Amino acid sequence: MKKKVSQLLIATALAASGAVPVAYASGDDAEIQARVDEAKAASGDFLKQLGGAMKREMQAGGPTAAMKVCRDIAPGITNDISLEKGWKVTRVGTRVRNPMLGLPDAWEQRVLQDFEKRAADGEKYDAMTYFEVVEEPAGKSLRYMKAIGVAPQCLACHGSAGQIEEPVRAQLKTLYPYDRAVDYKPGDLRGAVSIKQPFND
């Protein structure tokens, strides 16, 4: 019940952002579910690849080496999925490290806020998702987000100043002069995988 109410509230608020929820007939349910299943599989594949690359680099060279995963490898993976599927696949953050890549749009900001409310009600980020069919200036699309929580190992690059070692702080300052993605705690919402699937009507 809480999830249905939450989705209703966020859908009502979206009109102000230019993303208008679209009502669809019950006959479209199968297509919508198929799209959601595809988005779920794609986001899972992305997170699996990202986690594997992060683990390898952390073991090979520690946090400074692992930084290239978020900077270089993650955008490459999302770009590959986007080209393969014909979708827009990105990662967005609650606090961005690189404002050119991780800044959520108005729709994504509202979903991130909803994720935090759902977490406060006891829902786990591991299985937390949201989808909606919306009409935007560019056309109709299914929008889907999968929450990403902060794990303890994330604090090596995303924790407080006392938790981030000096070589890492120095590299972050060089690579990301506008960095705001710090001072997280385990269990915080880090961001989400965001997928937009256009309808070819």
46-72 pLDDT, tens digit per residue, is 999 999 999 999 999 999 888 889 889
Q: Is the pLDDT confidence value at 97 over 70?
A: yes
Q: Is the pLDDT confidence value at 10 over 80?
A: no
Q: Is the pLDDT confidence value at 187 over 70?
A: yes
CB atoms inside a 10 Å sphere around CB 59: 10
**Backbone φ and ψ of 28, nearest 5°:** -85, -5
Average pLDDT rounded to a whole number, residues 150-169: 93
Q: How confident is the model at residue 201 (pLDDT cuts 50, 70, 90)?
A: low
Q: Is the pLDDT confidence value at 165 over 80?
A: yes
Please give the structure tokens belonging to residue 43: 């986001």
Going from N- to C-terminal start, the domains of the chain cover: 2-198
pTM: 0.85
| d(C-alpha 201, C-alpha 4), whole Å | 28
User: Which of 19-33, 49-63, 67-81, 168-182 shows the lowest mean pLDDT across its residues?
Assistant: 19-33
- Please tell me what DSSP assigns to residue 179: -
What CA–CA distances, in Å, run from 126 to 4, 60, 123, 192?
19, 27, 9, 11
Q: How confident is the model at residue 11 (pLDDT cuts 50, 70, 90)?
A: very low
Please give the sequence-ordered ranges of beta strands (E in DSSP) within the chain, or none if there are none. Answer: 20-21, 88-93, 129-136, 139-149, 189-198
Task: Calculate the average pLDDT of the chain.
Answer: 87
pLDDT of residue 15: 41
